[in-house]
Amino acid sequence: MKFHGVSPEDLAVDVLTRLWDPGDHRVEWKPHHGAITMGSLLAFLKTILFHDFIDMKRKGMYKATTTYMPLLSNSDEMTLDDFIAKLESPEA
């Protein structure tokens, strides 16, 4: 997942940490869901992981576009060499 500094592994570890932390009640197995089985637990964690990912995208942490340089007006022209020189310049 690019542009927000959180890997899929980070999201998964966060979900498991919240599940195992007795003081954190955001992720906990409710008794009315029945007995915990491997399949039911994995489905539960997968749903939480998906919702965390969607919430992260909604917060605006996930950006698909970035602007590195200001846009040029039609009268300004920049060659590829000018662009590279500007990137390599310590004043840039």
Q: Is the pLDDT of residue 72 over 70?
A: no
Please state, in angstroms and rounded to a whole number, the distance separating the CA atoms of residues 53 and 34.
26
Residue 61 CA: distances (Å) to CA of 41, 57, 72, 75, 80:
28, 6, 27, 35, 31
- pTM beyond 0.85, yes or no: no
The answer as to whether 87 is a domain residue is: no
Amino acid code (one letter) for 7: S
The answer as to whether 34 is a domain residue is: yes
The answer as to whether 54 is a domain residue is: yes
Domain that holds residue 41: 8-58
The answer as to whether 27 is a domain residue is: yes
pLDDT of 33 reads 82
Please state, in angstroms and rounded to a whole number, the distance separating the CA atoms of residues 1 and 31.
34
Please state, in angstroms and rounded to a whole number, the distance separating the CA atoms of residues 68 and 6.
22
Task: Centre a 10 Å sphere on the Cβ of residue 14 and count the other Cβ atoms it contains.
Answer: 15
Extended beta strands in the chain, E state: none
| Contact yes or no for 36/45 (Cβ under 8 A) | no
pLDDT tens for each residue of 82-92: 777 777 666 64
Q: Is the pLDDT of residue 70 over 70?
A: no
Q: How many domains does the chain have?
A: 1
